[in-house]
Structure 1
């Protein structure tokens, strides 16, 4: 197996042109992926560095983000079944208040479970 490595000449030094798959994946991250990245950086720095060097961090963060969003949808549906939102047309402020409360509860559960 051979690799083609290209170099850039900077003041007489040859610097390899390195690319990572994770760079493209990081552009697709959502809120929960960034929260997981920050957690790894601040609390599991050695694991974060290993994943960064092995170029597996992007896939891991995308997977965490995807799972967290799916879990959020499930929790929101369960909360709406348990405590239905009021009629939006009748009292819009009450509806917004209840929807925000449901979202805050779902986010708190996800942060405790996944991140």
Structure 2
């Protein structure tokens, strides 16, 4: 079975109408979206290769899952190490919120440095 190729005229040239196969519809989280913007801007060849080989969606989903797991693990580990517990939350909510937000910010920086902006 032959594939029919269609063309569009652009000035004096006939250019083939190229179309990528449909990608599966998957929800990509914030980490995957951040990485997508980064590779589009800073690594256009990697982005184009992933896009044209239809591996971009799966790649971004993997990055998003790995980053989410790393972030959750880091927040838990740092909170345990620094004594930010449910007991502190019950005794002094404002202090707990301030410390957990600080921990989340540090964990976010680590994930960004090690997974997202590479």
CA gap of 1:3–1:30, structure 2 versus 1, over 3 A, is farther
> Which consecutive aligned stretches of 4+ in structure 1 deviate over 2 angstroms post-superposition?
2-5, 15-19
Matched positions, count = 103
Match of 2:98 in 1: 97
Bigger Rg, which one: 2
Spell out the pairing of 1:64-103 with structure 2 (5 A cutoff): 64-85=63-84, 87-103=88-104
Could you tell me which of 20, 23, 29 is aligned with 2:22?
A: 20
Match of 2:37 in 1: 38
Contact conserved, 2:29 with 2:64, CA < 8 A, in 1?
yes
- Alignment RMSD, CA only? 2.4
Q: Give how far 1:90 is off.
A: 2.1
TM-score (structure 1 length as normaliser): 0.77
TM-score (structure 2 length as normaliser): 0.75
CA gap of 1:85–1:36, structure 2 versus 1, over 3 A, is same
Q: Give how far 1:91 is off.
A: 1.7
SS of the aligned residue for 1:88 comes to helix
Q: Which ranges of structure 1 fall in alignment gaps of 5 or more residues?
A: 6-14
Q: Which ranges of structure 2 fall in alignment gaps of 5 or more residues?
A: 5-16
